[in-house]
Chains A and B, each alone.
Chain A
């Protein structure tokens, strides 16, 4: 059975690494998603094409294979070296950034055109229009699909254990090798991931309520046990729904 020593030395640090990887790759995905999503609505076709190409390529990429590629192929081919965790965060951030850019694009496209026209009538520059009119209204629409994507990302962080980052799943694997008693370990792991997903969802709901209040929309009522997933019209992972 699980010794407290093991718990302190591997499992809790593993939980911490999982949280770190989730947070860092979510931040990277977020930073990538906004420019790419906005550029996909640009008026020049070449800009739209390049941003669209980023989306299509990384949406078609398997994040695990990409992670292996960054961790094991890039260092010898280009004679550089980095931490495995860096490779994991980079791979997750880049692929989930592509999914998230679709959310940004879809939410921007769903802002009523009259809002954009009003901005033009008031002689706003395109950037002012984006910052003052379109993004503030699109933002509350983005949060529920971002929530779903964040849960997918949290699940995706378990992949970093395969490139030797000592996250929760890695600790579980080690423990299985040491004790050969896998049932309680993997049950605990699954429950922990579920609890993390649940907590993240609650946090995102708060964020959504706050964002909706700011643009004068009534927040949707959801009970404490309203499910882990948000219901949203835009499905980033499958790329269905939302305004085209």
Chain B
């Protein structure tokens, strides 16, 4: 077995830079995914067909195609007629957009889980449409789906290394850079272990949260 621990030591400073970038992308990607997902979910419940159908079609399409190709699209095609984005920004937008189509399904399930009596009660006390959503439906729906949303944060973490393919220096990007510059191969293992070390406790935590919030 050819293994050299000193390469691992040398990689560590770069690794921590990568961790920072990964967490940054994850944080902003999550913000986009959570907020845009809610927009999709509410739009899909709209009474107007011309809102409901296009949103359903677009989210279905985004959800059924690979994030990697979407990242390439955002990075190479969009700048031809739109804004040019850095690899990190592209990664954040890509992750956020891709997973907003998943979180919209989560929100939808949550909204459908709110008993019909709640809608009727809101109508009975003549709340406006806006107040019905913000004061009655969403507080009940969102509480129920927090664990499921949290699971998507973990999934986004595990998919985030794809942005290394467009040159972002996240954990994987740093490991690739270091390995190619020094002709070594130990760095990837550090990153692989790091993902398990972050993702496993997070999923345990979510299961505890699920037991508390849902029942």
Contact = CB atoms under 8 A, between A and B. Distances in A.
Contacts of A1: none
Contacts of B171: 65
A57 B162 contact: no
A237 B60 CA distance: 17
Interface string A129-167: 000000000000000000000010011111101100000
Interface residues of B, number: 49
A4 interface: no
B76 A61 contact: no
B148 A238 contact: yes
B1 interface: yes
Contact of A77 (B64, B155, B179, B185): B185
A197 B159 CA distance: 19
Interface string B170-205: 011001100100000110110110011001100100
Contacts of B73: 182, 186-187, 190
Interface stretch (A66-74, A105-113, A120-128, A209-217): A66-74
A3 interface: no
Given A159-B68, A186-B77, A240 B151 contact: yes
Question: Which among B2, B69, B76, B172 has the greatest number of chain A C-beta atoms within 10 A?
Answer: B69
Given A65-B188, A72-B188, A186-B77, A169 B68 contact: yes
Contacts of A173: 72
Interface residues on A, range: 35 or more
Interface of B: 1-3, 60-61, 63-70, 72-73, 76-77, 80, 105, 147-148, 151-152, 154-155, 157-162, 165, 171-172, 175-176, 179, 185-186, 188-189, 191-192, 195-196, 199-200, 203, 210
Interface of A: 56-57, 59-66, 68-69, 72-73, 76-79, 151, 154-159, 161-162, 169, 172-173, 176, 182-183, 186-187, 189-190, 193-194, 197-198, 227-229, 235, 237-240
